[in-house]
């Protein structure tokens, strides 16, 4: 409804809450392949994990990682996408504390 009066006055805390709410909203309406591609891009560009490393961890080919990173992501087999998604989720979980807040 747009009512933000219930949010804390601290601007940093308010921003964190609004960012998480926005993530939940846009995550529900965004294309899931594009979302996976974005998370994968964070691992490669922000954390510096090589595409080959991610591919080996997921048990897929490096070109499968490349196909997900193009814009828009290319279609890949569902089993391959699942393996990559699980690996990306695992890596993001372990590395989330290394990412600076907005």
CATH code, domain with 41? 1.10.260
- The parent domain of residue 81 ranges over 30-96
Residue 38 belongs to some domain of the structure: yes
Residue 101 lies in a domain: no
* Number of domains composing the chain: 1
In whole angstroms, give the CA distance from residue 99 to residue 75: 29
Q: Is residue 4 part of a domain?
A: no
Q: Is 6 part of a structural domain of the chain?
A: no
Of residues 85, 80, 77, the one with CA closest to residue 32: 85
15-42: per-residue pLDDT in tens?
Answer: 777 777 766 666 555 578 888 888 899 8
Helix, coil or strand: residue 21: helix
pLDDT per position as a tens digit, 55-79:
999 999 999 999 999 877 788 899 9
């Amino acid at each position: 409804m747009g009512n933000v009066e219930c949010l804390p006055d601290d601007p940093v805390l308010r921003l964190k809450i609004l960012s998480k709410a926005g993530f939940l909203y846009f995550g529900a309406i965004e294309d899931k392949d594009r979302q996976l591609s974005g998370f994968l891009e964070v691992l490669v560009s922000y954390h510096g994990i090589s595409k080959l490393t991610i591919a080996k961890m997921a048990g897929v080919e490096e070109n499968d990682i490349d196909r997900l990173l193009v814009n828009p992501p290319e279609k890949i087999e569902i089993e391959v996408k699942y393996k990559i998604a699980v690996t990306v989720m695992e890596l993001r979980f372990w590395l989330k504390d290394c990412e600076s807040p907005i």
